[in-house]
Structure 1
Amino acid sequence: MKTKTKLMIAAGAAAGAAASYYGVCELAYNRFIRRGPKFFAMGPQEDALTEEQRAEHRQRQEAVQSWFAASQVQDLTLTSFDGLRLHATQILNHPDSDKWIVMAHGYGADSLALLPRAKTFDEAGFNVLLPDLRGHGLSEGDYVGMGWNDRRDLIAWTDRIASEHPTSQIVLFGLSMGASAVMMACGEEDLSDHVVCAIEDCGYTSIPAIAEKQVRSAFGIATQPVLIGLSTLIKMRCGYSVWEASAVEQLRQCRVPMLFIHGEEDDFVPYDMVFENYYACASEKELYTVPAAGHCEAYRSPHYDERLFRFIRRFLR
């Protein structure tokens, strides 16, 4: 075979491999990062519940809907640091209270997914702010922030509360991806002093760590090459490097008291991640793990609310 023919064959093979590699990276981006319905849904799935559990779940939903309909609800918007119009739902049932909670939802959900938990805080005398994270709900954005750019958005929302309610005492709460956003926000120097403590429930350690797990689970292939290509697409389209997007590194600068929560049977965000986050945290902290709880299921423990409010009360004036 002539040398020229061999070179053409080799070039064709290389081009095919490059196209296949780009295709896999693009598929990973579309599945995990691009805005749209996600393969993982937050909250209990009715087909996995017993008939009794389904009845209890429906009763809770009806109670939450009735409470929400009777609440003082307002839609708020602000512009993010990079020009996105962000939306949040404010529930101001206690206008004379200085207690506020900002609640960050999980991956693929929206702010209303946290209404059951918001109701619990409302009953404890808190005003509630439920942001739609970028790329979710009524907020703009064509990509999922995975917590990193969301950290700046959470800081902007706390600044707004502090400006409009000068005596406010703000608690940050995050679930799953929202928990990682909370941890990342708490490592920023310009986080408002009105934030008195924070709670993270089943957050991951970093974007590369959770992306590697999910790519391996979804595609069953070597993750490092795909992660490198995926990170390049994220840098080009979302404007940040995944290699800097680490809750662990942010927590080393944390000055806000933090409660770390994780289900011991979590196979979506691995249970071990809570220990990496907890031991990295430089501020006052507590750790609460729940046996037999999967991802976002720690709240089912009868001790969950008591542990949350016992922690929060330590830091309210």
Structure 2
Amino acid sequence: MKALKYVFATIIVLCIVFVAGAFALIDYALSTSDRNRTLSYEYMERTYPETRPWMDSLNAIHALRDTFVVLSTGNRQHAIFVANPKAHGRTALLVHGYECDAAQMIHIAHLYERVLGYNVLIPDLYGHGMSDGDVAQMGWKDRLDIEDWLRRAPSVFHTPADSMRLVLHGISMGAATTMCVSGDPTPSYVRCFIEDCGYTSVWDEYSQEMKKRFGLPEFPMLHITSALVKARYGWSFKEASPLNQVAKCRKPMLFIHGSNDKFVPTAMVRPLYEAKPGKKALWIAPGSEHAVSYKDHKAEYTRRVADFLRYNL
């Protein structure tokens, strides 16, 4: 009987430890950092100096604008946008990564607006930038907000829906969001998708990060954490699967990944690419680490995007 009490006591202690660890993991993985758009712009201008004169010219004519909307999910979200008078309906909706904001997609906005002549719309995802929320949704519930932005794009740019041609382009968690959107029904003017270094699923991403950073296996911590996220936020790590969504995508997609990506391992792009039916293209950026393929290969990145859009937008 005494031994049985020790067993029960040990089980109770372990349960407490695992649940406490799971809550700590949720806080570590999903809580977003302080938000400072000024610092984001300053960082981007240092890293991508070509954006500074472009942004100065936009600000001089009040072309770089902000908008706040309450989406169908009930979230109040912020976005920045630029209407290019020569776009003729060509539009890029850009999706930023984890712990980033709309300002940190300015380099890709420069590519689209300045180089390719597109309208550009960049939302702050839930829990990021100037939008509502205090946790990351890792692309899964974010897809619902982005789908709302897609429906609003014609009104944002005062363009009839039948005159719009739109590409959805995301990086990192924004790429995961893009792929999650791709498996759902989208308006006919959404012509194609570009994902840059997105993960196969939230489960896969957290599993490899737990092993790499903490030396921990999936079981039981990831299972408990996922269950708590499901109870608390309404989604689970395995449910949040860009891989499953890509398998349902019927519109063209360009996959981009750095060959030296350790954060979202380069190997993840292979099953994503293979799962995608229909028209698709893949570029592995030589030597690039996570989310810097454009920085490392600006001319080639621009050419790959422009060529893909030429045939699919």
**Alignment TM-score, normalising by the size of structure 1:** 0.88
2:266 aligns to what SS in structure 1? coil
Tell me if structure 2 keeps the 8 A contact 1:162–1:194: no
What is the aligned partner in structure 1 of residue 264 from structure 2? 269
Does 1:115 pair with 2:106? yes
Does 1:165 pair with 2:165? no
Q: Which amino acid aligns with 1:222?
A: P
Equivalent of 1:223, from 218, 236, 240?
218
Aligned equivalents of 1:241, 1:27: Cα separation in 2:
16
Tell me if structure 2 keeps the 8 A contact 1:97–1:125: no
Q: After TM superposition, list the pairs within 5 Å mapping 1:35-114 onto structure 2.
A: 35-36=32-33, 57=47, 59-60=49-50, 62-70=52-60, 71-94=62-85, 97-114=88-105
Q: Which runs of 5+ in 1 are unaligned?
A: 47-53
Q: Which amino acid aligns with 1:148?
A: W
**Which shows bigger deviation, 246-255 or 56-65?**
56-65
Number of aligned positions between the proteins:
299
Q: Which amino acid aligns with 1:165?
A: T
| Root mean square deviation, CA, Å | 2.3
How far the C-alpha of 1:221 sits from its partner, in A, is 1.4
Q: After TM superposition, list the pairs within 5 Å mapping 1:226-305 onto structure 2.
A: 226-299=221-294, 300-301=296-297, 302-305=299-302
What is the aligned partner in structure 2 of residue 28 from structure 1? 25
Tell me if structure 1 keeps the 8 A contact 2:63–2:83: yes
Aligned equivalents of 1:30, 1:229: Cα separation in 2:
14
Tell me if structure 2 keeps the 8 A contact 1:266–1:294: yes
Q: Which amino acid aligns with 2:50?
A: R
Q: Which runs of 5+ in 2 are unaligned?
A: none
Aligned equivalents of 1:61, 1:225: Cα separation in 2:
46
Aligned equivalents of 1:201, 1:252: Cα separation in 2:
17
Aligned equivalents of 1:220, 1:146: Cα separation in 2:
22
Aligned equivalents of 2:106, 2:95: Cα separation in 1:
11
Indicate the percent of aligned positions where both proteins have the same amino acid: 32
Aligned equivalents of 1:61, 1:30: Cα separation in 2:
34
Instruction: Note the alpha carbon deviations across 1:26-72, whole angstroms, 9 max, x for none.
Output: 1110011123359xxxx9xx9xxxxxxx9973733533542442351
Tell me if structure 2 keeps the 8 A contact 1:64–1:115: no
What is the aligned partner in structure 1 of residue 13 from structure 2? 16
Aligned equivalents of 1:24, 1:296: Cα separation in 2:
29
Tell me if structure 2 keeps the 8 A contact 1:107–1:146: yes
**Alignment TM-score, normalising by the size of structure 2:** 0.89
